[in-house]
Chain A
Amino acid sequence: DVKVTQSSRYLVKRTGEKVFLECVQDMDHENMFWYRQDPGLGLRLIYFSYDVKMKEKGDIPEGYSVSREKKERFSLILESASTNQTSMYLCASSPPWGGYREQFFGPGTRLTVL
Chain B
Amino acid sequence: AQTVTQSQPEMSVQEAETVTLSCTYDTSESDYYLFWYKQPPSRQMILVIRQEAYKQQNATENRFSVNFQKAAKSFSLKISDSQLGDAAMYFCAYRRRNQFYFGTGTSLTVIP
Q: Does B78 contact A (CB under 8 A)?
A: no
- Check B44–A105 contact: CB distance below 8 A: yes
Partner of B103, one of A42, A94, A104: A42
Partner of A108, one of B35, B44, B95, B97: B44
Contacts A43-B91, A102-B35 given; indicate if A90 touches B45 (C-beta within 8 A): yes
Q: How many A-B residue pairs have CB under 8 A?
A: 48
Interface centre among A42, A92, A97, A108 (most CB of B within 10 A): A42
Q: A92-B45, A100-B33 are in contact. List 16 more A-B contacts (CB 8 A).
A: A31-B98, A40-B9, A42-B6, A42-B91, A42-B102, A42-B103, A45-B100, A96-B98, A97-B95, A97-B97, A100-B50, A101-B95, A102-B95, A105-B37, A105-B44, A107-B43
Give A contacts to B, CB under 8 Å: 31, 33, 40-43, 45, 48, 50, 90, 92, 94, 96-97, 100-108
Give B contacts to A, CB under 8 Å: 6, 9, 33, 35, 37, 43-47, 50, 52, 91, 93, 95, 97-98, 100, 102-105
- Please, could you name 9 A-B residue pairs with CB atoms under 8 Å apart, sorted by A? A40-B9, A41-B104, A43-B91, A43-B102, A97-B98, A100-B33, A105-B37, A105-B45, A108-B45
